[in-house]
A and B are shown apart, each in its own frame.
Chain A
């Protein structure tokens, strides 16, 4: 079935819009500055696609994040940097544990890491589900760098 794509992530216009529970976990920074020193914020990319793992961390670093990339959920979980992870850029379809499955797994362990899902397939049902489960964003490849930055700031409450 071909489905029309719908607006991606809810755009938070101001910090007042960010849900209260998310505010106290993060360091507030100015969005307009663009490049902030967020070196203590670790963004993790999990995608089985090598070109993604290759390109996204550079972009994230340009955003001011620290960035790491893993090829699978299992690799991430056994990496030991789960606790340091400030946010997750997560592919939906992966061999082994899929993106949504990892989302469930982290929830089970009480890990409230904001997740931005990225995917090549615009599947409405998956989008609805992962957002319901608390994802911070759902981006369809190819997405622009600005879109990613906006989603990240929104998810982290960096407005």
Chain B
């Protein structure tokens, strides 16, 4: 192989034949030379020029052929230095060595390299002796360099494979000419290649632009035809040159109207927008862009349509451009509806005395509705802080408020995620407002915990409820008294009958015995009647007693938690009116008891009333009433009512359950003794214990499972 693959094989361990030994350049001058054949030379050069002009790609081959011809050699060709300067390659070869075209020699170990090193023509003899990669036979080889812009870029060469041909000075001269030609051919070719490259590049760029343009065009066309927004082409003279369907629909003109040029965009604008239009045109002229702004257009029928208008002048044009028109009717409708609903909401809040707030728990950012400011009687818009709220909360409800804040901050399980609570405000004029709040926990956009709440001013309702409750309780009292009166009257009547008989008969008996003589028989008879009537009276009393003790108990399964809640709900307004704070700790999953629900309600009501009475004189501490239910170890359900009132001494502990022991003046409702009877009838126990602190706790315990009826 002539072509060396890599440099390593050139490090030949074989002692190389010296360069001098294969050079015989001086022979060129010594030998007799042919006479110059200028005519032939000219013909050859002309032919080469023609080829260069007509088909530049073939010029190197033609050159090789020409060299072969004019030097009468066996092989001829060109060697060109590669870009990296490491090799010479043969782009064209003529003659015997034609098959080797495309091959080459290394720059630093080869005949071409030597020529470039010495920068002159060289004649080699048997160069295969040094450059062993050449296949023999090579007798003589003449190489002539050629230059481009002062730099040697290659050689042209001719080979004689045997003794018959020996190169002379004429050959050298001819090669020199041809070398010059080779130089120009090389340059020309390079230029052409460059040109071709440039053209190719430009064509590639143009193709890209065309592709881009066609892509962009397509997009614009799609946009225009999608008709999501009106698009027009216009000029600053007022004309609309093109428009899409969406625009036509917005302004209700037909395509013919536009095409005819009747529709000028200056006419579409109502007069009050003219100034704005002038500013827009100025903006277009200076910056080429029109920032979108809202205005109105007239439709064909004269009605107005709200629009958003924006646009731009075409590049390179001072007059023409494209604009988009977005129909805002729907949006305006939605805005109006929203404003209306907001107004309704605000009005509704005002009418219903309902305010609303949102509270971002992490940042304590609180936003209030106007109505809530009014409820709190604070200036609308003042930044809301927890401290500000505290200045309004009733002092007795402050602990409740703090607890609520703490629990919501914890996101506590006690409050679940939604909660309601009631509290009072004290206004600057010392009046009290009752508020009912309902809050809903929701993660906001950033996933943070936020509470949205409505607060209703229920003062009016509360006051009227209290008035109603008072009226009801008074009515109830009156009714009771009336029924008591009736009861008393009927009792009196029941007893009076036998009593009257007793008195009369006894009186008669006396007179009979006082008569002269005594009427013994009569006395006996009247005495008998007396005793009989006395017995009758006794029976009446017995019957009455039985009537009072009669238990028309309806036994059912009773949930004490629910029962307690009902009673508390009934009593709540009354308790809150006397500033009693009611706390409730009802055990979960409290098992039901069997009993008379109404009687048990009466007992609970009695205990609540007693607790409230015990606290009625207390002013130096909070009046707290705690109702607790629990299940104890003996399979009983316990309900306790704990107060912070006056309490009782251990000596009084049992007396308070005695029948007529009461400190109350009205004596309404059932008393503790009856309560105890009811509980005992339920196979339970009712007792009282003093608290560790102030006040007392009344507790009853009833078995969960019913005892056998036979036990009672």
Complex Cα distance, B510 from A54, in Å, reads 16
B 655-685 to A, binary, CB cutoff 8 A, 1 in contact else 0: 0000000000000000000000000000000
A27 within 8 A of B: no
B505 within 8 A of A: yes
Complex Cα distance, B492 from A52, in Å, reads 17
B493 touches A59 (CB 8 A): no
Complex Cα distance, B507 from A146, in Å, reads 8
B515 touches A62 (CB 8 A): yes
B501 touches A58 (CB 8 A): no
> Which residues of A sit under 8 angstroms from B505, Cβ to Cβ?
55, 58
> Which residues of B sit under 8 angstroms from A24, Cβ to Cβ?
none
**A55 and B529 in contact, given A2-B485, A142-B499, A143-B503 (Cβ under 8 angstroms):** yes
What distance in Å separates the Cβ of A65 from its nearest Cβ neighbour in chain B?
A: 13
B500 touches A58 (CB 8 A): no
A 24-54 to B, binary, CB cutoff 8 A, 1 in contact else 0: 0000000000010000000000000101101
A56 within 8 A of B: yes
Q: Which residue in A35, A59, A121, A144 is a CB contact (below 8 Å) of B489?
A: A121
A59 touches B504 (CB 8 A): yes
> Which residues of A sit under 8 angstroms from B504, Cβ to Cβ?
52, 55-56, 59, 142, 145
Complex Cα distance, B507 from A143, in Å, reads 10
> Which residues of A sit under 8 angstroms from B498, Cβ to Cβ?
51
B529 touches A145 (CB 8 A): no
Interface centre among A51, A121, A141 (most CB of B within 10 A): A51
> Which residues of A sit under 8 angstroms from B489, Cβ to Cβ?
121
Complex Cα distance, B503 from A59, in Å, reads 11
Complex Cα distance, B496 from A49, in Å, reads 11
What distance in Å separates the Cβ of A35 from its nearest Cβ neighbour in chain B?
A: 8
B 505-543 to A, binary, CB cutoff 8 A, 1 in contact else 0: 101101110010000001001100100010000000000
Among residues of A, the one whose C-beta sits closest to the C-beta of B511 is: A62
B570 within 8 A of A: no
B76 within 8 A of A: no
B497 within 8 A of A: yes
Docked complex: B567-583 residues within 8 A CB-CB of A: none
Complex Cα distance, B526 from A141, in Å, reads 18
B502 within 8 A of A: yes
Complex Cα distance, B489 from A143, in Å, reads 17
How many A residues have CB within 8 A of the partner chain?
20
**A59 and B507 in contact, given A51-B533, A120-B497 (Cβ under 8 angstroms):** yes
What distance in Å separates the Cβ of B492 from its nearest Cβ neighbour in chain A?
A: 7
B488 touches A52 (CB 8 A): no
A20 within 8 A of B: no
Complex Cα distance, B500 from A49, in Å, reads 10
A142 touches B508 (CB 8 A): no
**A120 and B500 in contact, given A51-B533, A58-B522 (Cβ under 8 angstroms):** yes
> Which residues of A sit under 8 angstroms from B512, Cβ to Cβ?
58, 62
**A142 and B502 in contact, given A49-B497, A58-B526 (Cβ under 8 angstroms):** yes
What distance in Å separates the Cβ of A127 from its nearest Cβ neighbour in chain B?
A: 15
> Which residues of A sit under 8 angstroms from B501, Cβ to Cβ?
51-52, 54-55
Complex Cα distance, B511 from A103, in Å, reads 31
A1 within 8 A of B: yes
What distance in Å separates the Cβ of B410 from its nearest Cβ neighbour in chain A?
A: 61
B529 touches A51 (CB 8 A): yes
Among residues of A, the one whose C-beta sits closest to the C-beta of B502 is: A142
> Which residues of B sit under 8 angstroms from A2, Cβ to Cβ?
485, 488
B511 touches A51 (CB 8 A): no
What distance in Å separates the Cβ of B489 from its nearest Cβ neighbour in chain A?
A: 7
Docked complex: B168-223 residues within 8 A CB-CB of A: none
> Which residues of B sit under 8 angstroms from A142, Cβ to Cβ?
496, 499-500, 502-504
Docked complex: A96-122 residues within 8 A CB-CB of B: 120-121
Interface centre among A1, A59, A143, A144 (most CB of B within 10 A): A59
Complex Cα distance, B44 from A39, in Å, reads 197
Q: Which residue in A49, A52, A55 is a CB contact (below 8 Å) of B526?
A: A55
Complex Cα distance, B503 from A145, in Å, reads 8
What distance in Å separates the Cβ of B94 from its nearest Cβ neighbour in chain A?
A: 153
B493 touches A120 (CB 8 A): yes
Interface centre among B496, B510, B533 (most CB of A within 10 A): B496
Complex Cα distance, B525 from A8, in Å, reads 30
What distance in Å separates the Cβ of B691 from its nearest Cβ neighbour in chain A?
A: 42
Complex Cα distance, B508 from A35, in Å, reads 12
> Which residues of A sit under 8 angstroms from B511, Cβ to Cβ?
35, 59, 62, 145
**10 closest A-B pairs (Cβ-Cβ)?**
A145-B507, A141-B500, A51-B501, A142-B503, A55-B504, A142-B500, A62-B511, A59-B508, A120-B496, A142-B499
Q: Chain B: residues with CB nearer than 8 A to chain A?
A: 485, 488-489, 492-493, 496-505, 507-508, 510-512, 515, 522, 525-526, 529, 533
26 contacts between A and B (CB under 8 A): A1-B485, A2-B488, A35-B511, A49-B497, A49-B500, A51-B501, A51-B533, A52-B501, A54-B529, A55-B500, A55-B505, A55-B508, A56-B504, A58-B526, A59-B511, A120-B493, A121-B493, A141-B496, A141-B500, A142-B496, A143-B503, A144-B507, A145-B504, A145-B510, A145-B511, A146-B507
